[in-house]
Amino acid sequence: MSTALILASARTQIADYLSTLIGVYVVLIFIYILSSLFFSFGGRVPYNRTLNAVIDFLRQVCEPYLRVFRRIIPPIGPLDISPIVAILVLTIVGGLITGLIHG
């Protein structure tokens, strides 16, 4: 195998990995938003350690990224559009970066 072919294969694998990582993070943000909506509308689940661990994990993973956008974009009444903007920015910037890596 030539060196150029090995480098091209490595770049493709890195770009695919980054794309998948961004996709998983977007899904985690969606799950976090939906669970927050469920609880804000009065949905109550009996005490469950596993569920609390999952909610805490989602909060710790998603909230630092979303907090950046919440500082910039104030809520419009009861509607918080910062997660939508955060997902759009993540998707666009991720697409640009993976496109640059692919070459």
Segments making up each domain of the chain, as ranges: 3-98
Joined tokens for residue 13: 């694998």
pLDDT, position 1: 61
- Provide CB contacts within 8 A for 71, sequence distance 6+: none
Joined tokens for residue 28: 């985690």
Q: What is the pTM of this model?
A: 0.86
Q: For the CA atoms of 42, 39, 72, 66, what is the dihedral angle to 10 degrees?
A: 180
Residue 4 is classified by DSSP as: H
d(CA 69, CA 17): 25
Q: What pLDDT, in 10s, does the model give residues 10-43?
A: 888 999 999 999 999 999 999 999 988 888 787 7
